[in-house]
Structure formats: structure tokens, C-alpha cells
Structure 1
């Protein structure tokens, strides 16, 4: 399955980096095929990218993607084909799946994502029902969605080491719940296949571990096509024992910020970049854009006001932040209707199946866009030229998207390595 023929919001001249990726297409695809043979690819994944015009890099990788409803409906055949491959690899005999979502019964946009995911799997030939972890749902509950569809949530039944819902014994459990608050006992020690594995959840996963794995992937890829790895890789560090309310751990965060800013300034000077470097401080686990701020000087850490400290102190479900990722800020110079935008690339197995733009009218090019007030613009198919088309003009837009698909798959590969390392670490802990 090739990269879809898609349009992007950035219409300027294609970057030298993108040209290098385009020219190396056969080498890249051969290299990636070898990686997919050697490693277990996450079942599905979404990657937030930022294109600064001089750099193209992933800034976040989500192993429980919650925006399938934001994909262009034209992508459904791609999703179905990739879903068939993903399921066959994990369990060829799977014909029924229990889908377990987040506990967001009031978030209709998220529930539309679950309905879209259920639809994709049904078109891939599977029976799919939706089980909820919410204790107050004790009977099948039908929910009407804004787009006219409906969703039925059912209470999960555990008997011995199998999960089911009424008159439905599934072969596999598909999680679309990122387990931020921990791995509930009902999901532990099951005889059924659980995808993604529970150790992919935020109860144990750390963004710093992911970007450490991405460091290795980016270096190997850079050697493959002879580029500076920094062009696809954000600098980062991490700090623990953080308490923003009590001002604990501030020295580590401030020091890491200043070190990254200093290294960034050297890179900006090397590449003739005139913008001012900045750093993003974010919680080392969790999603939904919580616990994130932009910093342009280490001294800013000491000067946070009460509102800023409260914002950084907790993430989803009110969980306290005790570890942070200090990450190079990557500008985004893409825009839709004069609003700042960033592409989010969706993958099922190792196939790019589409994506959308996260757009925010109230945020700047150096700010986190995953925040209240954002909206989504589905990527459209581009019909003017093929993707990738190495004989097309340099500003052929689908060629730019091919580069996006390559970098997103590098993040996917890093996630595969990250999860493998997590399994090894867990076994070492048990044996110790």
C-alpha cells in the first residue's frame, strides 16, 4: 500500500530535506521493509509533526489514537485494507473483537472516533462490540451521536481470565483507552490477546523513553540518506522529582532548558535560521495536550505564576506531574485560513492511512496546538500528481506529504523499539 496521494497546507518550495527523502525513496522503502520484518509494529498509531521550513520532526506519538472520525471518509478503504493486515498478523483467527474506549461518555467527538473505528473493523470482516469500564453502565446503553450515527456501550463481564459482553465471547481485546490512571485489574492476566499491550499505556510509558528510541532511529536513517539527524529529530532531556506547586525540581528543568537553547542556537546559526529558539516543557506521560508550556529562557521556570504552576502540576484525570520532558520547540509554518496548523499522521500497522490538520486560531507558531479551541481539517486526496513522483516539479505537494509519511513511520518504528525495550525491562525487574 503506497503513501496516499494527499495535499498539505504548506505550499512553498519543497525543502532540501524533502528532496533528499524523495530521491532516496527506493533505499528508504527497502530499509523500512527490513525493519517491519524485524520488529512488532504497534497495532495503530498517530504522530504529531511540525514543519518549520528548515526542519521536519515528530513532537508526539500516540499509541491509542482518538481521531479516526477526523479522517477523510475517502480514506476508509485504505484503513480497512491496513486493518485486515494488522489483525491477521496478531491473530489470524480473529473474527470478533471487544473494543474498550476511554471513559469519555460526554465527549461526543471522541465517541464518533470509536464509531469510526468500529466501522473500519466491521468493514474488515470482524464482529465488534464496545465494552465500557464505567461502573455506572450496567446495561447496554445506546448513545446518539451528533453525526446521526449511534453507539452502544455495554458493561464488561469477566469470567475466569476472559472478557466478554452479553452473548459475545471475543477473540481479542482492542484498547482505545490509554490507561493513564493505571491498568485496572479487569484487564490483567487475560487469556485473550490485548492490543495494544497494556504496557503501552501511560501508566508505564514515558515520552522520554520514546524519544530515546527515536534518537537511534533518526541517527540510523540520517546515515542511510546522508543528512544531519537534527533535521528530523528534536533535542530533548528529562527531569524527575518535579513538583511545580512546591517549586521542586526547578533547577533541573531550568538547566536542561538553557542547555537545549544553547545547542539550538548553534544549529540555528549553522543553518541560517533567524527565528528565536524555544523549548517545550511537557509532562513525561499523558496526552490531551495537558501539562505543556513554551519557554524561551531557563529563568522563566522560576518566574511561573500560580495559574501557570497549577496548569503544569496535573494532567488527565487530575494525575500529578512528577516527571517532565524538556523538548526542543519546533516551529510550524503551516497555516489554514491564516490559522496555525500542524499535520497529524495516522497509521494502522505500518501503513499510512491518512491524517488531518490540527488547527488553532488562538495559538502561535511556537505554541502547543493541542489545546481547547482547536479544530481539525481532514487531509484531502491530491489529484494533480502522484505521490511520490520523483519526476515532478519540486513543489509538487504530494511529494511533501511523502516526506511526512516517512518521518511518521520513523516515529512508529521508534514506538516499536520502545515497547520491545519495555518488555525486556519488565522481565529484568521480575527476575531481579
Structure 2
């Protein structure tokens, strides 16, 4: 099942597709050389938006959930990628401990964990689940919708190593973004690999750092294949240390929004785009899309910001670090519902993905919200390899290849980001 674009089969996105396909050997060589010099994140997912005139990542998750949404046909690819990743990190690995989110009340998230366990088990690892929540004091069994069970055990620390009862893992895989902070039990581990590293967590990570790095990657990639980097890169700005409950904070945000909107409108004019430009305001240090604001006119900032600031549980209360991002429309459709692709990767490989769809959201709205649904897609099957010589816009595998390229660009940016922010790395002037 493949979504369709509401745009005609001509225009910038098809020109970009043709340029990407024509440059495939150069692109694959470029990625290969990059991965010789840089270590990819262990796993990640990237939300991609296809506006018909540009194709860009809008979020990169280093603790991807939703593995259960991948098609079963993708399992072999995921298993092979897991084998490659583990082999590089700990070739003699036998035991893997997965640390999930503290709240396991969501059956979809449990199904995600079940799929992760299946992938790593087939990659040759014994897999257990350990909780760092202080509320989990004994082994707990969860029943899954398919009748299977999942056992969660309290994490214990002994002589600088963490595990669960009678289970000493070589590697600990976090599926918990540690947004509330890094617990001491995970710090200063002795001869154990913790993935992703603690500085990838939202307690220290910043979206603006990632997109600054992505901007540089996009410039280099644009030069490689001869395209304007803007076609694959959302403009952004950072607005740090603002309190939206004060006039000064609102004025600072309004000025930043106005400046960024002017830059986006200039690009729209250059490409003859008739859509109305907008800017998305998010928390710079928080995953997901809680409190997200879409602004089409700087005059609307006051009303939107006050509403967001006053909402219960809003992340926009008090002094905040904000990122302003060029809004990217999605013109994909599936059964009349708005859709966007999400690309899943492990090590340096695209292993699959899905379309996130939402029947009640518009083309300029966030789809990662209650009411969304997921349709698995095979991004890289042997029977769905790119089809050279096919008219741009007419081949789903070619479009999927483009999505995979954008996903890998975001993954490469994440690699640079983690290297630059590693507190253990040597710094040179």
C-alpha cells in the first residue's frame, strides 16, 4: 500500500528524485567513506516530510520506538544490521539488557519491545528487560495482545556493572530517552557498553545542535549531487533563555519568528511556491512534540505562546530553550488521510519504516499525536530496489530510496552531533 502525492508528477521533488537516482554511485560511495571515519548511532528513526517541492527530516529520534510497525519482511534486514552493529561493539557479546521507558502501560510500546527482543534474539543474543524505575522492585510479567508475555525485572548494580538477577550483560541498550535526567545507576559502568551513550539523552541533547550539524551535512551533500541544500534541509533558529510568561520573552520569540519567516518566504518566492510559509516552535531539549506551536504570522506569536504557556503540563512554562524550525508540509496521502514517512535504521543500514497517518490532521500539522495510525513499508527489499530509467514520481521504490537517503543524512548528522558533544572526547583548539 503506497501513498500518493496530491501534487502533479512534475516539479522540484521529481527533479530532486532524478538527481538522486542519477548520482546513486557517488552517493553510496560518499556514505561508505563517511562511515569509515564516523560511527553511526546504534539505532535511530527519522521523521521525513515531503512537501512536493522539498524533502526534509523534521525530527531524529535516537531511542526509536515503534519497531512493531515494521513489516515482517523487514526482519531479516534488521537482524543482519543488528549483527553488524553488535560485532563492531562487542563481538563476543552473549547477553543484552534492554532498558525500556518507565511507563509500560501502553500495549503498543510493549509490542515494540517484543519486536526488539525478537530481532536481537535472532542476531544471537540472550535478551532480558531491566527497569531503572524505583517503583519496579520485583519481576513483573506483562501479557501482550498476541498472547505472548514480556518479563520486566528491576536493574541491579554490582561492582560497577548493571544487570538483572543472574544476568550479566556485555551491552545495555537504552530504549529510554532519560528525559527526567540520568540516574546514577547508569553512570561510570565497568567494562560494559551503554548504547546510546548518556550524552545522547534528552537530559543533555539539543535539537538545535542536531539541526546545525544536519545543515552542514546537507550543504556537503547538495554540493555532491548539484542541488540547493534547502531542498533537503529545514531552516531553523534557536531562541534560548526565554520565558513566555513575560513581555520580554514574547518579544524575543516574535522577533526570531519574524526573521525566520522572512527567510522561508524568500525561498518560496525564489521557487515560485504559492503555499503559505510557517514556522514550528518546539522545546529544544525535549523529544516528541509536546507543546508544539505552528506560526504563520509573527503577529500570532503572543496569542499562541500564551495559550501554550498556560496549558496544563506544558513544556513552555518558566525559562525555556526553544528551537524555531521551518515548517515542512506533507503532501502525501493514504486513504484520504495525511501521511508522512518514518525511516528506521540500525548501524548504517536502512532496515525499514512506515507511514504515520492521521485522518484528523492537516498538511501543516504534526502527525505524531493521539489518533495516528501506522502502515508498515518495505524501504529496501530485494524486490523493491530502485528502478533506474523510470520516470520520476512513477516508482514507489525510487521514492523510498530517496527517503532512505534523507534518513541516512540525518543519521550521519547524529553521528557528528554525538562526536561533538561527547564529554569523554579529547577537545582540540
Q: TM-score range with shorter-chain normalisation?
A: over 0.9
CA contact (8 A) 1:104 1:111 kept: no
CA contact (8 A) 2:309 2:317 kept: no
User: After alignment, is 99-108 or 245-254 more displaced?
Assistant: 245-254
How much does 1:247 deviate?
Answer: 5.0
Partners of 1:214 and 1:292 lie apart in 2 by 21
How much does 1:146 deviate?
Answer: 2.0
Partners of 2:313 and 2:413 lie apart in 1 by 28
Aligned to 1:329: 327
Structure 2: give runs of 5+ residues left out of the alignment: none
Structure 1: give runs of 5+ residues left out of the alignment: 1-5
CA contact (8 A) 2:250 2:305 kept: no
Specify the SS of the correspondent of 2:320: coil
Specify the SS of the correspondent of 2:265: helix
Aligned to 2:337: 339
User: After alignment, is 42-51 or 88-97 more displaced?
Assistant: 88-97
Q: Deviations over 1:30-80 (max 9, x none)?
A: 000000110011000000000000000000000000110111111111100
How much does 1:320 deviate?
Answer: 6.2
Partners of 1:312 and 1:243 lie apart in 2 by 16
Please provide the CA RMSD for this pair: 2.3
CA contact (8 A) 2:279 2:327 kept: yes
How much does 1:81 deviate?
Answer: 0.6
Partners of 1:89 and 1:327 lie apart in 2 by 35
CA contact (8 A) 1:235 1:327 kept: yes
| Cα separation, partners in 2 of 1:408 and 1:319, compared to 1, 3 Å | farther
Aligned to 2:206: 206
User: After alignment, is 54-63 or 13-22 more displaced?
Assistant: 13-22
Q: Deviations over 1:161-206 (max 9, x none)?
A: 1001111111111100001011100000001110110100000000
> Is 2:137 the partner of 1:138?
yes
> Is 2:58 the partner of 1:59?
yes
Correspondences of 1:274-353 after superposition (within 5 Å): 274-304=274-304, 306-311=306-311, 314-315=314-315, 322-353=320-351
> Is 2:233 the partner of 1:233?
yes
| Cα separation, partners in 2 of 1:175 and 1:86, compared to 1, 3 Å | same
Aligned to 2:118: 119
Partners of 2:255 and 2:425 lie apart in 1 by 31
| Cα separation, partners in 2 of 1:196 and 1:426, compared to 1, 3 Å | same
What TM-score, normalized by structure 2, do the two folds share? 0.93
User: After alignment, is 27-36 or 355-364 more displaced?
Assistant: 355-364
CA contact (8 A) 2:351 2:379 kept: no
Aligned to 1:3: none
Correspondences of 1:137-176 after superposition (within 5 Å): 137-176=136-175
User: After alignment, is 286-295 or 397-406 more displaced?
Assistant: 286-295
Specify the SS of the correspondent of 1:64: coil
What TM-score, normalized by structure 1, do the two folds share? 0.93
CA contact (8 A) 2:44 2:344 kept: yes
Partners of 2:134 and 2:423 lie apart in 1 by 34
How much does 1:378 deviate?
Answer: 1.2
Specify the SS of the correspondent of 2:352: strand
Partners of 2:380 and 2:127 lie apart in 1 by 32
| Cα separation, partners in 2 of 1:313 and 1:209, compared to 1, 3 Å | farther
| Cα separation, partners in 2 of 1:59 and 1:156, compared to 1, 3 Å | same
Partners of 2:422 and 2:342 lie apart in 1 by 28
Aligned to 2:273: 273
How much does 1:332 deviate?
Answer: 0.3
CA contact (8 A) 1:314 1:320 kept: no
Partners of 1:180 and 1:207 lie apart in 2 by 13
Partners of 1:28 and 1:262 lie apart in 2 by 32
Q: Deviations over 1:237-256 (max 9, x none)?
A: 00111223345522222112
User: After alignment, is 264-273 or 43-52 more displaced?
Assistant: 264-273
| Alignment size in residue pairs | 423
